[in-house]
Structure 1
Amino acid sequence: MMFSSAKGHKVVDISSAETVGTVSGFLLEPSTHSIVALRVKKTKTGEVIRWRDITAFGSEAVTVPRAGVVTDIDAELEALGDKARELVKKRVLTSTGDELGTVKDVDFDPATGALTAFLLDSAPDVAADRLIGVGSYAVVVRAEPHGS
Structure 2
Amino acid sequence: MLFSEVRGLPVVLPGRAGPLGRVTSLTVDVADARVSHVRLRAGRFRRERVLPWDAVDTVGPGAVQIHSPTPPVPAPRRRDLLGHRVLTDAGNEQGTVLDVAFDPATGRLLALFTGHGEVPPTRLLGLGDHALVVRAA
TM-score by length of structure 1 reads: 0.82
CA gap of 1:57–1:9, structure 2 versus 1, over 3 A, is same
Q: Distance in 2 between matches of 1:133 and 1:53?
A: 25
Residue 105 of structure 2 aligns with which residue?
111
More helix by share: 1
Structure 1 position 135, deviation (Å): 0.8
Q: Secondary structure at the match of 1:32?
A: coil
Q: Which amino acid aligns with 1:60?
A: G
SS of residue paired to 2:21: strand
Please tell me whether residue 81 in structure 1 is matched to residue 77 in structure 2: yes
* CA displacement, residues 35-79 of structure 1 (integer Å, 9 cap, x when unaligned): 11100112489701111011111121111123x22x3342xx1xx
Deviations 1:70-90 (A, max 9, x none): x3342xx1xx233xx322222
In the TM superposition, 1:65-104 aligns within 5 A as 65-66=67-68, 68-69=69-70, 71-74=71-74, 77=75, 80-82=76-78, 85-104=79-98
Instruction: Tell me which residue corresponds to 1:34.
Output: 34
Rounded Cα–Cα distance in structure 2 between residues aligned with 1:61 and 1:86: 20
1:101, distance to aligned residue in structure 2 (A): 1.2
The letter of the residue matching 1:9 is L
- Runs in 1 of length 4+ with deviation above 3 angstroms? 43-46
- What TM-score do you get using the length of structure 2 for normalisation? 0.88
Query: Residues 52 and 73 of structure 2 are in contact (CA less than 8 Å); yes or no, is this contact kept in structure 1?
Result: no
5+ residue gaps, structure 1, are none
Instruction: Give how far 1:17 is off.
Output: 5.0
Q: How does 1:25-64 map to 2 (within 5 A)?
A: 25-43=25-43, 47-64=49-66
Q: Quote the Cα distance in structure 1 between the aligned partners of 2:17 and 2:107.
A: 23
Over the matched positions of the two proteins, sequence identity in percent amounts to 34
Q: Does the aligned pair in 2 maintain the 1:33–1:131 contact within 8 Å? A: yes
Looking at structure 1, the residues matched to 77 and 106 of structure 2 have their Cα atoms a distance apart, in angstroms, of: 19
Whole-angstrom distance in 2 between the partners of 1:51 and 1:138: 24
Alignment check: 8 A CA contact 1:116 1:129 kept: no
Q: Number of matched residues? A: 135
